Amino acid sequence: MKKVLMKVNGRSHQFVVEPDRILLDLLREDLRLTGAKQSCDRKGQCGACTVIVNGRTVRSCITKVANLDGAEAITVEGLGTPDNPHLIQEAYVLSGAIQCGFCIPGMIMATKVLLDKDLDPGTEEIKKALQGNLCRCTGYAKIIDAVKLAARFLRGEITPDEIRPDPSKGIIGVSLPRPSSMIKACGVAEFGADVYLQGALELAVVRSPHAHALIKSIDISAAEKMPGVAGVMTANDIKGTNRNGDLLVLCDTKVHLVGDGVAIVAAETKKQALAAVEAVKVEYELLPVVKTIEDSLGENAVRVHEDGPNLEFSQPQIKGDAEAALKNSDVVVEATFSTSTIHQAPLEPEVSIAYMEGEGEDAKLVVLGRGINIHSLKTALITSLGWENVRYEEPFVGGQFGMKTAFTTEGIAGAAALHFHRPVRYVCSLAESMMMTSKRHPHIHKVRMGADKNGKFTAYTTDFTVESGAYSFGGPLYLTRSLQMLSGPYDIPNVHAFGRLYKTNNASGGAARGAGPPQSNYALESAVDLLARKLDMDPLELRYKNTLEVGGTMSTGEVAEEWPYKDCLNALKPHYDRARKEAAAFKTGRLRRGVGIAGAAFGIGGPYPKDQATMAVEINEDSGLTVYGSAADPGEGNDSMLSQITSYLTGIPINRIRLVTRDTDRTPVVGSASASRITYMAGGALVMAIEQFRQAMTEAKATTYQELVAAGKPTKYLATKVCDTTPMDPKTGQGKFYEVRVLGCQMAEVEVDTETGETRVVHMTAVEDIGKVINPLNVEGQMQGGLDMGVGMALREEYIHTVTTDYRSFKFPTMKTSFPMTVITLETPRKKAPLGAIGVGEFVLLPTSAAVMSAIHDAIGVRVYDLPAKPERVLAALGKK
């Protein structure tokens, strides 16, 4: 033990610490300064824990307190408060740099040290200073903008008040700061691991080291006797179904994946729980492992699950006669394209907290987690409680990108709270999160595409396989989504597709930004590019020629309504002409440049029949308005959208609008904050509820709460939006799946090093028509973040189970890999949408990988077909390996 005297945020403290006590734990656990975050398993890889010590940035997750005697530390809480923020915090808020906000305290502290030394840094200086701080949401563009704006503030060139939007001068189409942005900038927004409940037990899970094995016995006796251990649970202790689809909360007789949960340890501290995990003895009988789709095929193949075949699902899509059309085509291209398994990589690993509230029949299990609507129902089933006896609250979420729609930690925490009759916290490590969560499904598409001699598409076929992994986190749904958007923005008269989903003992596939269409669109747009080359036609011109027109039919049989794809191509054209001209000067030598384009059409709403959402509005006694609906905001900007729509339609100032969106006991069901559905679905229901409220106010001739009550009118109004959609026909793949679609196109400019195979993105340009833009800054941020994620999918990102365990092995995008971007929004109002507005975040990912790969082809003259385009694959294509 060592005595340490140090200052934290200007206050003197004396600590007596163990030699290995780290600063992050001291700040969070002893001082409850939770602005600094834990993300990278104390490897110093992410920068979320950054604080300032003696004027320098340090990664508090690897800094030992014993070495800080006499030091002075500053955390983000010591920099400023929501009522009195630092100018850097103001700059981050006003620049739109804050989405989920998990990385922001660390970013701000790194910015403080940079600007203390240099009040006029350039982009490269900013990148260098912040290169150790990771962000998954923004693509770093708005972070860089925030640093530059903060420098202007500190130089005295401009003040925050001079650029702060005035809500009285406009609400829709105005870049108002997100409602939660300032508390995130000041480090006081509560994320899951920031919640500490008195008397809470810490949980750890015993996980299987084997991919496929029978469980012969579990010996918990030694673990139960260890210091601080309150108990150990196995599957026999779970009172309900213990099942979410084919995934068990705790495996009972068999494991199907390295990382499957076998037992839960509850202890007074996390350290004690982890030590006890090592004392649990599990005897396994190893089984053959299904490593690939090829292993899963055939009558004699080992079954991953005994109660079903390895072929989990299959679905065709048929429009016209593709085979006949291909035979009669003047030009046909044929190729096989593949995509990789990808971790969604939000910076915040999973966290779930649970406790019992009340007594007897009125007792409720309260879970702090994500996906509050669907997860509350699943928790009820797992624990044998009624749905009315489960309450979900959602803390702020550090990104999700589809991953946290999967039911993972919530069942563990809920079952443990019910079993131990004490509050519990289950805070995952990054390695554990990567191991147990669902990933982007890998696809293999064998495609053929035909055209006549004038370049008109005649047919498109794809025979594709999808690896589901060990468990089905919605695999059939996401394969179906691939088909729902298969033909993109094009008029293809004949289409034949057949998708098959196979079980293996690998990482499970699930929701990931775009969820299916990014993979199928990569194959389609790559085939379009190959066709353009074979026709010797400009790729942009080929897309013009084959754009679906209003009234035309997609491969699903749906009829195009608003379809502004040509407008998007028109907006891209001057950028395309400029880029082609510039790249022409770099076609020889070691470093070669290329340009690639791609487009997409993305359906908005849940990918299932009759998607619906319910919202409510209530006038308060002060005549402000409360908006109710379980439309939580993990970073997309949902809070801004709901607030701005409400203020615009009611005339009530935005600072008098209150949102209640994170508590199932107080909110109607909206559904998942995913699939870019919240603006369209929750926003649509909100508009309907406000219409009822306004009608009541008009009938009562009221302008205040008191006048409405005096007229005998209700103060609360509720409405439900239901989509007019159908299931997919199992034989033809036809149906009506979406009421509106986003359309757009992108261009990639790349530079390829022909000696090393490295590809550098020089510039990305994205054009997207999303209907009415409610908050331009939020839309830009979503587009920029999506572009960065799409480039990662194209060039670097690949998850290999048990090998990819941290951000470095995943090749997480950094400031160093970031690139300039131009984002352009067009506004064709959608008639069925609230104020004409639809979603933005998911679409962005669809065109990117194909645009990048086509740009590589343009640069070096040969194609790389498999994602990601790692240097060795580029060199192999060049014949240099």
Q: List residues with catalytic annotation.
A: 842
* Residues with Cβ within 8 Å of residue 327, at least 6 apart in sequence: none
Tokens of 470: 């060990």
Q: Which residue has the tokens 């906000």?
A: 101
311-319 and 495-503: which strand pairing?
Answer: antiparallel
N-terminal to C-terminal alpha carbon distance within the chain: 56
Q: Which residue has the tokens 């109660």?
A: 307
Contact 18, 83 (CB under 8 A): no
Cis peptide bond N-terminal to 868, omega within 30? yes
* Residues with Cβ within 8 Å of residue 217, at least 6 apart in sequence: 281, 282, 283
| 603: nearest Cα among 640, 636, 571, 562 | 562
657-660 and 457-469: which strand pairing?
Answer: unpaired
Where in 11-119 does DSSP place strands (E)?
11-17, 50-53, 56-59, 72-74
Q: Which residues pair with 263 in a beta bridge?
A: 206
Task: Provide the 3-class DSSP secondary structure of residue 414.
Answer: helix
Tell me the C-alpha distance between 528 and 537, whole Å. Answer: 11
| 599: nearest Cα among 546, 658, 673, 659 | 546
Burial of 522 (C-beta count, 10 Å sphere; 0-12/13-18/19+) = buried
Contact 296, 313 (CB under 8 A): no
Tokens of 3: 């005595």
Tell me the C-alpha distance between 685 and 721, whole Å. Answer: 5
Output the CA angle 430-432-435, nearest 5 degrees.
110
* Residues with Cβ within 8 Å of residue 863, at least 6 apart in sequence: 335, 526, 530, 853, 856, 857, 877
Tokens of 515: 């969820």
Residue 668: CA atoms inside 13 Å, Cβ hemisphere, count?
Answer: 21
Q: Alpha helices, DSSP H only, in 711-812? A: 776-795, 807-810
CA distances from 68 to 13, 65, 494 (A): 12, 5, 70
Tell me the C-alpha distance between 370 and 349, whole Å. Answer: 12
CA distances from 671 to 271, 631, 654, 772 (A): 37, 7, 25, 23
Q: Using the 8-state DSSP alphabet, how is residue 704 labeled?
A: S
Q: Alpha helices, DSSP H only, in 384-502? A: 409-420, 430-436, 475-484
Where in 227-286 does DSSP place strands (E)?
229-233, 243-244, 247-248, 254-255, 261-267, 281-286
Q: Using the 8-state DSSP alphabet, how is residue 663 labeled?
A: B
